[in-house]
Structure 1
């Protein structure tokens, strides 16, 4: 979404030409297709893949933990977050703190690199916010 917004803003601000925007859109489409194929290959749902992407963004985590362990972590994160979110969790700081604590514990349990734990926690929370409506229902 960010890539799409950046391309549109670049065009609107006359930084990018129409041809460059089309190139960006083609590049974005290829990345989405690759992402979908990886999700299918890993047999992850859309929610699980969102969390997988958040925890696998770190190169050292991918090297240290491997794809299978990250996949397992994503599945557990999805289930745990789904079971712990409430309707107002994105608004109430106490509810957010509870989710943040749960995520940190899971990252530690699965051996996520401690130096990248804070970033991964924030990415997971951001992903959870993006899909919050579906998680609560």
Structure 2
């Protein structure tokens, strides 16, 4: 299911609840809301993106011109009368957005997922009201948008940003190197991963071992803290595997 479909799903459900009109399923408004919550819970726990339209029996409306995570769209979601339903739908949208990004940037997507799960946990523990959790999720949506523009801010490609994030750049010991040097390390590692990560390298231990040596030498060359290298190498290799997997499927 495309991310754009999530917008259409929001629109379709909102129209259904506001107008109280049938969708051809013959179900009541409360039944539809219950069905949607169940589908959202299943979608979030699944590794795959669920076709929520088909599961809920809702037709896909025309959504030409709308941008996912736009301020306009998030404001529309926040303004839904059914706040509980808005919450469930927002959870679904953010979960799908993060799943999509996990294919290209494992570090950033992990951080965003932790933010999402943490906010939901606080809500479930009655530390946040429905209105407060919706605002929290909207803030996370804005963090996703901010992450998407990180490459432009840093002057790096998306792949380079992924390896830049893998270098533990927020660690105080690593920050001593300076941002410009960290960006150069990210660029060099990206180039070397591309040159050495073949389509089947993830299943060849020798290829993985070779790349590990290359990454370690690169980090040492640039003066990366020795006591931080093991974790950085592990993360870089995971990111390289994700890159190779993404390349084979696209």
TM-score (norm 2): 0.47
Match of residue 89 from structure 2: none
Match of residue 68 from structure 1: 180
Q: Distance in 1 between matches of 2:239 and 2:130?
A: 31
Superposed CA RMSD in Å reads: 2.7
Q: Which has the higher helix share?
A: 1
Higher alpha-carbon Rg: 2
Does the C-alpha gap of structure 1 residues 5 and 35 become closer, same or farther in structure 2, counting only changes over 3 Å? closer
Unaligned runs of 5+ in 1: none
The 3-state SS of whatever aligns with 1:131 is: helix
Count matched residues: 135
TM-score (norm 1): 0.80
The 3-state SS of whatever aligns with 2:178 is: helix
The list of structure 1 runs, each at least 4 consecutive aligned residues, that deviate by more than 6 angstroms after superposition, is: none
Q: Which of 54, 60, 82 is residue 166 of structure 2 equivalent to?
A: 54
Q: Does 1:45 align with 2:168?
A: no
Q: Distance in 1 between matches of 2:119 and 2:149?
A: 29
The 3-state SS of whatever aligns with 2:149 is: helix
Match of residue 122 from structure 1: 234
Greater RCO, 1 or 2 (C-alpha within 8 Å, sep 6+): 1
**Cα distance, 1:35 vs structure 2:** 2.5
Unaligned runs of 5+ in 2: 1-108
